[in-house]
Structure 1
Amino acid sequence: MEIEKYIPLWKKYLPVIRIQLKNSLQRNATLQLDKTEFEAAGDRDSAGYTFNLNIEKGEVTNKIRGTAVARDLHKVLIANSAINEFLKDKKVNINMGKDFILKLKASSM
């Protein structure tokens, strides 16, 4: 199992993710990520880097155990006090496809 390989990468993107999370309350928000950075951080060629992360009140509600990219993103999100506070009363969906575009959508519960 990959151990927190993507945490430094998610921390780098965290300031923009935080802004886009807030924006996603009004509209679907996206963030283009750098494919080469992910490939340098891990070796998921066969599995890819795609994931779907569903969070309700800060807790993951779908299975992400086999997806280190999503697990590490969730760890970074909840470790940030401002984002953790934002997530407390929200339902959030974050996903990334093969195009390395992070899509975020949040709604109040």
Structure 2
Amino acid sequence: MEERKYLTTWKRYMPVIRLHLKKSLNEDQQFKLNITDFESAGDRGKSGYTFNINMENGKVINNISGSAVARDLYEAIKADEAVTTLLNNRSVKISVGKSFILSIKTTHLSAYK
């Protein structure tokens, strides 16, 4: 298993992610990542850097175990107190596609399940 190759890279992005998470409460957010930041951390080759993280109340609800990039982003999110506060009572989907654009969609969780 890979050892947190992307954690340092994600930590550098956390101020931007924090800002976009706040803005995502009103509308979906997107911003372009610098692919060389990730390529220098580790080569994903054909598998690429695409992933989806679905969270409810700050807990991942889908399987991200196959993506070191996603796992390390989640580690960086959990370590950021301001971000974990933003995730309370919310459903958040963070994804990165082939074009290397990070998307954030946030919805409020209903009190009624």
User: Which interval holds the TM-score relative to the shorter structure?
Assistant: over 0.9
Unaligned runs of 5+ in 2: none
Quote the Cα distance in structure 2 between the aligned partners of 1:71 and 1:90: 20
Q: Which residue of 2 aligns with 1:96?
A: 96
Aligned residue runs from structure 1 range 9-88, under 5 A? 9-88=9-88
Q: 2:25 is paired with a residue of what secondary structure?
A: coil
Percent identity between the two aligned chains = 48
CA deviation profile, 1:25-52 (whole Å, cap 9, x unmatched): 1111011100111111111012110001
- TM-score, normalisation: structure 1: 0.96
RMSD, matched Cα: 0.8
- TM-score, normalisation: structure 2: 0.93
Unaligned runs of 5+ in 1: none
CA deviation profile, 1:68-100 (whole Å, cap 9, x unmatched): 101110111111111111112110000001111
| Structure 2 counterpart of 1:73, one-letter code | L
Quote the Cα distance in structure 1 between the aligned partners of 2:10 and 2:31: 12
- Structure 1's consecutive aligned runs of 4 or more residues displaced over 6 angstroms after TM superposition are none
Name the larger-Rg structure.
2
